[in-house]
A and B are shown apart, each in its own frame.
Chain A
Amino acid sequence: MSRFVYFLLISNMTANLIAASPRIFFAKSEEGAIVTMIIALFFGVFMNWALITSFKAFPGKSLPQILSLYLSKWITIPALFILGVIWYVSGLQTLITYIDILLRFLTPEMSVYLVIAMFIPVITFGVIMQSRNILFTLELVFVLAFPAAAYYIVKLYFAEQVSWDHVGIAMTFIDNPPDYTVFTTAIYLFVGAFDIIIFNSFLNKKMTFGIKQALIVFILGAFALFTTYFIPIGVLGFDQVEGIMYPWILTSDSIRMKFGVIERVIFIFLLLFLAIAFLNITIHWHVACKLFQSAFGIEHVKLKLRKKASLIIVVTVFWLIAIYTTLKVTEYDLFLYSKYYFNTIPVVFIGLMILMHVVNRRAKS
């Protein structure tokens, strides 16, 4: 696998910490969250394997290009459209969550409009950028953020506040039957690599998914799930964690840096995750934008001007919907809709795999 695929995967895994997923896990902590997460871990690795293998035959081609080669318009257009919506919502969810977090914790006295306005120019530029450069940005941000992230993780695991007894209590609920919502939420951590449906056009080297890659994905996923679930339980306590809106923010805020210029770890968390969330939104929206553009056949229009116009239209629609929903959606709605959204992920995955299966068979014959 190209290193960029890992970056995509990791960025999605980390972005989930601020989204609704931890809350969904904790809500079900006594109803089989652990066993579901273990199942999801294996399924997540399987998903990545299935994805990479299905794209193996088409190095350097994105999904719209592949579909237009082998399938009729009547299947391609709706499929791309649905995928576009899914990807757009994914970015939207992160955006709304982060705006909410900013308003609560970092800049409480700012108006919603101002916070949205802050995101608009930067994300718009990211969305309309060349795909290849988004991958480079991703890599650069990872390199720049790595020291802070590593410090943060070490600080979390070795903080005095983490009571491993609570983790032990949580472990005792391992024998409960699995739960569908937790399952979908957990496998959402693994869908980062699915961004290659667009970015594959820049990954010219043939990708392989062998034991080594599977092991890496497995370890990454296990670490992400373990951290997401057990660290807040260790810090906040098993019984209290269910009732908290943003468990990860409270977790970060319980830890101090005794000798730092910044005393509260939460600010490292917030600023670090602002970068991650921004990347996540940009990548997802970029993919969505490309999908919509190819769904409407705009890619084929030769005129440069018309292509630009279409880009403007897509981005404007993106923002209009985003602004409207940000203003309308309450925290409870966000939680609820996130659940619905996660629940559709397996369906989309199966649909995409069937599509790729058909395409692979046609490509062979």
Chain B
Amino acid sequence: MDEATRHIEPPAYFTRLATRLEPTADIVKKTLKSRGRVVHLLYLKSVVDMMQLQEIVVKPFYEMSAEQNFPEYIQSLPYETKMPTGDEEVLIEITKGNVFVMIDKQITLLELKIVAANAVQEAIMEPTVHGPQLGLSESSETNINLMRQRYHKPSLIIEPMQLEDASNRDIALIYDGERVNLQLLKKIRKRILTLDVELVQASGDLQYYLNNKKYSLFPTSLLTERPDRILHNMAVGKVIILVDGSPHAIIAPTTFFDFMLSMEDAYYSFWVVSLIRFLRYAGLFTCIMLPSIYVGVTSYTPEVLRTELALTVAASRIGVPYPSFIEVFFMLIFIELLTEASMRLPNSISATATTVGGLILGTAAVEAALTSNIMVIVVSLVAISTFVIPISEMNYAVRVCRFLLLLYTTVFGLAGMILGMLGLLLYLVNKDSFGEPYLRMFWKNRQEELKVDDS
């Protein structure tokens, strides 16, 4: 009798952990007892796979004969995770879906978590015709599996880390140990560990915090959902950061040219890719400069254009009651609104919004002489060429730049436009991403050139 009660009464450590978790409803404290053997289990039923628990722990416990060693069995299970030191850490492990098993003095954590969102999602942000059609999933374990599946090298290193924020989010650094720049790795690791943030929800906000500069306009790390892009970057020695629960990976460091690269470029022939690249860069310059050119040419120096064209532009502006820069601002804001609206709306309604906004309002605005025909062409061209940029973050940055350049041109004219562009170039060249130059030309091999600079 005395012995029996001593076994049933859970040990002090177990009770201590249990009381810490007590207020929550999904906590399960269980004591399995059979033939003098006692096992204490502690877990959260919402994150633990019950079927597995039943198969792996409960059933063998009752089926094993007395001679067999149950504690040995538990320890030999492949589900065992490393036991952290400290109560707090153990509790965090339990909330992640580990089952706390206590047999006499032996304590073990078994990872029997169930993840609801481990389905691989279709690539929505960066779709390609060729190449993998599926992106990442929301579970970082599935994502790591995706990496491993495509990159069979022992030098692929996965380095788990834990954020010190409110959610104790798991993140993982993934890199090729042979190719990665160690200096860079140290820098990234340090920046993640020194993050002082309230809550990280997804890769997106982690990327923002990693940036370290509050008012930086251009992204210094890339957010992607494509496994092929991740591998492409990992193979050149970059570091990938995965956040558990987010279907996007962060790639760092990045240069400006990385944002102008679509994965499709790797899957087509040279000439096709050259043409597409040319179009993309042409689109980049068009969407930044065209509104400014319009203002500079119509309001400051109409003689730049050939006479016939200058007259056409002037004629189309007859009846427009305000100077060209107001017209451009008005139309650009209008198109931004349209873009935002069609992005946020459900698919079924967004078509209506674009039709009403683009076609009907555009035509009506011209007929009401609120804007010129040519302005509508300019704005449409700008809107289209913005979407040629493959990565949406760069897309947003460019949209902001366009307004800044427009302001500079409005004040200073065509010469201001060129100077503004040069200023933008200066800004980009002066920027760095984790110590890597953001915008510079490479004539030789990239790594080779960087090495020459550093030596």
Q: Residues of A at under 8 Å CB distance from B?
A: 3, 102, 106-107, 110, 114-115, 117-119, 121-122, 125-126, 129-130, 132-133, 136-137, 139-141, 143-144, 202, 204-205, 260-264, 267, 270-271, 274-275, 278-279
B269 CB-CB contact with A under 8 Å? no
In the complex, the 4 A-B pairs of residues with the closest C-beta atoms, listed nearest first: A263-B306, A122-B423, A136-B440, A118-B412
B124 CB-CB contact with A under 8 Å? no
Q: Is A125 in contact with B441, judged by CB distance below 8 angstroms?
A: no
Chain A residues contacting B413 (CB-CB under 8 Å) are: 106-107, 110
Q: Is B425 in contact with A264, judged by CB distance below 8 angstroms?
A: no
Chain A residues contacting B440 (CB-CB under 8 Å) are: 136, 139-140
Q: Is B306 in contact with A125, judged by CB distance below 8 angstroms?
A: no
A106 to B301, CA, bound (A): 7
Q: Residues of B at under 8 Å CB distance from A?
A: 300-301, 303-307, 309, 411-416, 418-420, 422-423, 425-427, 429-430, 437, 439-441, 443, 452-453, 455
Q: A3-B443, A107-B300, A110-B413 are in contact. Are A274 and B430 (CB under 8 A)?
A: no
Q: Is A118 in contact with B307, judged by CB distance below 8 angstroms?
A: no
Residue of A nearest to B413 (CB): A107
Q: Is B419 in contact with A204, judged by CB distance below 8 angstroms?
A: no
Chain A residues contacting B412 (CB-CB under 8 Å) are: 107, 110, 114-115, 117-118
A120 to B416, CA, bound (A): 11
Q: Is B418 in contact with A271, judged by CB distance below 8 angstroms?
A: yes
Q: Is B423 in contact with A121, judged by CB distance below 8 angstroms?
A: yes
A121 to B412, CA, bound (A): 12
Q: A107-B413, A122-B420 are in contact. Are A262 and B305 (CB under 8 A)?
A: yes
Chain A residues contacting B301 (CB-CB under 8 Å) are: 106-107, 267
Residue of B nearest to A267 (CB): B304
Chain B residues contacting A264 (CB-CB under 8 Å) are: 303-304
Can you give 9 A-B contacts (C-beta < 8 A)? A114-B411, A114-B412, A117-B412, A122-B423, A122-B426, A129-B429, A133-B429, A140-B440, A143-B441
Chain B residues contacting A121 (CB-CB under 8 Å) are: 423
A215 to B107, CA, bound (A): 79
Beyond contacts A129-B430, A136-B439, A271-B414: 19 other A-B pairs, Cβ-Cβ < 8 A, are A106-B301, A107-B301, A107-B413, A107-B415, A110-B413, A114-B412, A118-B415, A118-B419, A125-B423, A125-B426, A125-B427, A130-B430, A137-B429, A204-B452, A262-B306, A274-B419, A275-B418, A278-B419, A279-B422
Q: Is A133 in contact with B430, judged by CB distance below 8 angstroms?
A: yes
Q: Is A202 in contact with B418, judged by CB distance below 8 angstroms?
A: no
Chain B residues contacting A205 (CB-CB under 8 Å) are: 452
Chain A residues contacting B452 (CB-CB under 8 Å) are: 204-205
Please report whether the interface of chain A is mostly helix, strand, loop or mixed according to DSSP: helix
Q: Is B426 in contact with A129, judged by CB distance below 8 angstroms?
A: yes
Chain B residues contacting A263 (CB-CB under 8 Å) are: 305-307
Chain B residues contacting A130 (CB-CB under 8 Å) are: 430
Q: Is B437 in contact with A107, judged by CB distance below 8 angstroms?
A: no
Q: Is A262 in contact with B304, judged by CB distance below 8 angstroms?
A: yes
Q: Is A102 in contact with B441, judged by CB distance below 8 angstroms?
A: no
Q: Is A140 in contact with B419, judged by CB distance below 8 angstroms?
A: no
Distance of B328 from chain A, by nearest CB (Å): 18
Residue of A nearest to B419 (CB): A122
Residue of B nearest to A2 (CB): B452
Chain B residues contacting A139 (CB-CB under 8 Å) are: 440-441
Our pick among A115, A137, A274 for the contact of B425 (Cβ within 8 Å) is A137
Q: Is A261 in contact with B306, judged by CB distance below 8 angstroms?
A: yes
Q: Is A137 in contact with B415, judged by CB distance below 8 angstroms?
A: no
Chain A residues contacting B414 (CB-CB under 8 Å) are: 106-107, 271
Residue of A nearest to B431 (CB): A133
Q: Is B437 in contact with A274, judged by CB distance below 8 angstroms?
A: no
Distance of B451 from chain A, by nearest CB (Å): 10
Distance of B220 from chain A, by nearest CB (Å): 15
A278 to B416, CA, bound (A): 12
Chain B residues contacting A261 (CB-CB under 8 Å) are: 305-306, 309
Q: Is B430 in contact with A141, judged by CB distance below 8 angstroms?
A: no
Residue of B nearest to A202 (CB): B453
Distance of A234 from chain B, by nearest CB (Å): 25
Distance of B104 from chain A, by nearest CB (Å): 61
Residue of A nearest to B414 (CB): A106
Q: Is A141 in contact with B422, judged by CB distance below 8 angstroms?
A: yes
Chain A residues contacting B418 (CB-CB under 8 Å) are: 271, 274-275
Chain A residues contacting B443 (CB-CB under 8 Å) are: 3
Determine which residue in B304, B422, B440 has the highest number of CB atoms from chain A within 10 A of its CB, and name it. B422
A279 to B418, CA, bound (A): 12
Residue of A nearest to B454 (CB): A204
Chain B residues contacting A129 (CB-CB under 8 Å) are: 426, 429-430
Q: Is A140 in contact with B427, judged by CB distance below 8 angstroms?
A: no
Distance of A224 from chain B, by nearest CB (Å): 23
Chain A residues contacting B306 (CB-CB under 8 Å) are: 260-263
Distance of A12 from chain B, by nearest CB (Å): 17
A279 to B426, CA, bound (A): 10
A110 to B409, CA, bound (A): 13
Chain B residues contacting A144 (CB-CB under 8 Å) are: 425
A267 to B419, CA, bound (A): 15
Chain B residues contacting A270 (CB-CB under 8 Å) are: 415
Distance of B449 from chain A, by nearest CB (Å): 11
Determine which residue in B427, B429, B430 has the highest number of CB atoms from chain A within 10 A of its CB, and name it. B429
Residue of A nearest to B309 (CB): A261
Distance of A6 from chain B, by nearest CB (Å): 12
A171 to B455, CA, bound (A): 50
Chain B residues contacting A3 (CB-CB under 8 Å) are: 443
Q: Is A140 in contact with B429, judged by CB distance below 8 angstroms?
A: yes
Distance of A333 from chain B, by nearest CB (Å): 23
A270 to B413, CA, bound (A): 13
Chain B residues contacting A136 (CB-CB under 8 Å) are: 429, 437, 439-441
Chain A residues contacting B419 (CB-CB under 8 Å) are: 118-119, 122, 274, 278
A139 to B87, CA, bound (A): 58
